Amino acid sequence: MNVLVINCGSSSLKYQVIDSDSEKALAKGLCERIGIDGRLVYQPNGGEKEITECAMPTHTEAVRMVLDALVNPKTGVFKSLDEIDAVGHRLVHGGERFASSTLINEEVIQAVEECSDLAPLHNPANLIGVRACQEVLKDVPMAGVFDTAFHQTMPMEAYLYGVPYEYYEKYKVRKYGFHGTSHSYVSKRAAEMLNKPCESLKTIVCHLGNGASVCAVKNGKSIDTSMGLSPLEGLVMGTRSGDIDPSAVEFLAKKEGLGLEEILNVLNKESGVYGLSGLSSDFRDLDRAAGEGDARAKAARDVFCYRAAKYIGSYVAAMNGVDVICFTAGVGENDGKVREKICSYLGYLGIELDKEANKARGEEVTLSTPDSRVAVLLVPTNEELAICRETVALIKK
């Protein structure tokens, strides 16, 4: 089956076409600046990347451009659009309603709309992508794969906040967690790499990218994760603060003369390692600057690593042990110094990192020595492939 995987944001749309038999990406790219001016990036597997500036007033035009590129006689990968068998959409927030992926119909769209309160930046944008594909691809079956679904197995003691229970009853205020598709994919791959059943392992996945979260996976199920009601909770991230004392919101609002929305904007977009360093959210820039003696760039990386190590420790407690710790996403897959620093806090677990193996980037590798009591793995995430697999499974049902 050929599956078009779509990850739609408010002004961008990432796509990949995957042949589910070979699990190879046939083409990938993105549409940027939708509704502004418009740019299409298209790259067939093994071919040159093409960048075309073209007007994209709405997401519907963006989807049309992608499909035109896929059937372009010179660089396309299909002769006709009939070769697209299904579309898999990344959907961010499924609330408590969706504990697994689902085929998309009107009822599902409405239910996702109802979860928009919980993800006002993401769900409406995701649904625009769904509508645009429906308009252009008519009867092609579509599936929705939720970032939150994998974490619906969390027990009550992990997902309830210590606030009046009626807020949970009335508004469903609770921890949901995100990056579920990645945590699920990586924890399963880790079990395969170790040649052990997922159901017998205590796994901690560190998804460290621009957005970052840690997840405790016990016997194949998420039992806790660092992001919460929204993706702001938990680790210090590229530009997000992660955990802070909620009282700081009022304190800062008063001191800076800012409103609630403005403070939340600061916590989402101007904080994290970017805010701490005053320099960049990119770990490569911070490493370079730290190497040149920039104390704040070093501090930003140190704060990031310390927070990650603390979460790992708390999940060892939650699972009463750990068999394997995985690093994934942009930072986790590429920044050996961050991995080494985080692991330097974990000597009490009997973890020994193989310094030579830890030079690896972006490939599946065991990073721990054979004597290490806990396995440490580098497992590149592949959310698109995971969405493709879910989509095919739903359609074959």
Out of 61, 147, 233, 335, the residue judged to bind ligand AMP by CB under 6 A: 335
Stretch near ligand AMP under the rule CB under 6 A, chosen from 80-88, 222-230, 275-283, 294-302? 275-283
Cβ-proximal residues to 47 (8 Å cutoff; 6+ apart), any chain = 75
Q: Please state the closest distance from residue 265 (CB atom) to ligand AMP, in A.
A: 19
Q: Give residues 55-114 in contact with ligand AMP (rule: CB under 6 A).
A: none
**275 scored as a contact of ligand AMP (CB under 6 A):** no
**234 scored as a contact of ligand AMP (CB under 6 A):** no
Q: Please state the closest distance from residue 44 (CB atom) to ligand AMP, in A.
A: 22
For residues 182-194, b (16+ Cβ closer than 10 Å) or e, as one string? bbbbbbbbbbebb
In the DSSP assignment, the letter for residue 235 is: S
**281 scored as a contact of ligand AMP (CB under 6 A):** yes
Nearer to ligand AMP, 154 or 208 (CB): 208
Nearer to ligand AMP, 159 or 283 (CB): 283
**210 scored as a contact of ligand AMP (CB under 6 A):** yes
Q: What is the distance between the alpha carbons of residues 220 and 100, in angstroms, rounded to a whole number?
A: 14
Tell me the H-state helices in 138-259: 156-159, 165-171, 180-194, 247-256
Stretch near ligand AMP under the rule CB under 6 A, chosen from 6-14, 48-56, 155-163, 328-336? 328-336
Size of the site for ligand AMP (CB under 6 A): 12
Specify whether 147 is catalytic: yes
Q: What is the distance between the alpha carbons of residues 397 and 388, in angstroms, rounded to a whole number?
A: 14
Q: Which of 19, 147, 224, 302 is catalytic?
A: 147
**242 scored as a contact of ligand AMP (CB under 6 A):** no
Q: Please state the closest distance from residue 332 (CB atom) to ligand AMP, in A.
A: 8
**284 scored as a contact of ligand AMP (CB under 6 A):** yes
* Coil vs helix vs strand at 249: helix
Q: Please state the closest distance from residue 304 (CB atom) to ligand AMP, in A.
A: 10
**330 scored as a contact of ligand AMP (CB under 6 A):** yes
If you count DSSP H runs as helices and E runs as strands, how many of each does the chain have, helices first?
14, 14
Instruction: Name the maximum alpha-carbon separation found in the chain.
Output: 61
Nearer to ligand AMP, 150 or 327 (CB): 327
Q: Please state the closest distance from residue 334 (CB atom) to ligand AMP, in A.
A: 3
Out of 334, 358, 372, 391, the residue judged to bind ligand AMP by CB under 6 A: 334
Stretch near ligand AMP under the rule CB under 6 A, chosen from 60-68, 90-98, 155-163, 326-334? 326-334
Out of 108, 142, 331, 378, the residue judged to bind ligand AMP by CB under 6 A: 331
Nearer to ligand AMP, 7 or 334 (CB): 334
Nearest residue by C-beta to ligand AMP? 330
**CA-to-CA dists, residue 368 to 140, 200, 214, 304, 376, angstroms:** 45, 20, 19, 21, 5
**CA-to-CA dists, residue 364 to 189, 210, 326, angstroms:** 9, 20, 10
**CA-to-CA dists, residue 121 to 78, 278, 286, angstroms:** 33, 25, 28
For residue 151, report the phi and psi dihedrals to the nearest 5 degrees: -90, 0
Q: Please state the closest distance from residue 262 (CB atom) to ligand AMP, in A.
A: 24
Out of 177, 238, 275, 380, the residue judged to bind ligand AMP by CB under 6 A: 238
Q: Please state the closest distance from residue 314 (CB atom) to ligand AMP, in A.
A: 23
Q: Please state the closest distance from residue 102 (CB atom) to ligand AMP, in A.
A: 26
**282 scored as a contact of ligand AMP (CB under 6 A):** yes
Q: What is the distance between the alpha carbons of residues 33 and 18, in angstroms, rounded to a whole number?
A: 24
For residue 386, report the phi and psi dihedrals to the nearest 5 degrees: -65, -40
For residue 388, report the phi and psi dihedrals to the nearest 5 degrees: -60, -45
Q: Do the Cβ atoms of 211 and 178 come closer than 8 Å?
A: yes
Helix axes 295-319, 336-344, angle to 10 degrees: 60
Cβ-proximal residues to 74 (8 Å cutoff; 6+ apart), any chain = none
Q: Do the Cβ atoms of 300 and 331 come closer than 8 Å?
A: no
Which residues contact ligand AMP (rule: CB under 6 A)? 209-210, 238, 281-284, 329-331, 334-335
Query: Which residues are tagged catalytic?
Result: 147
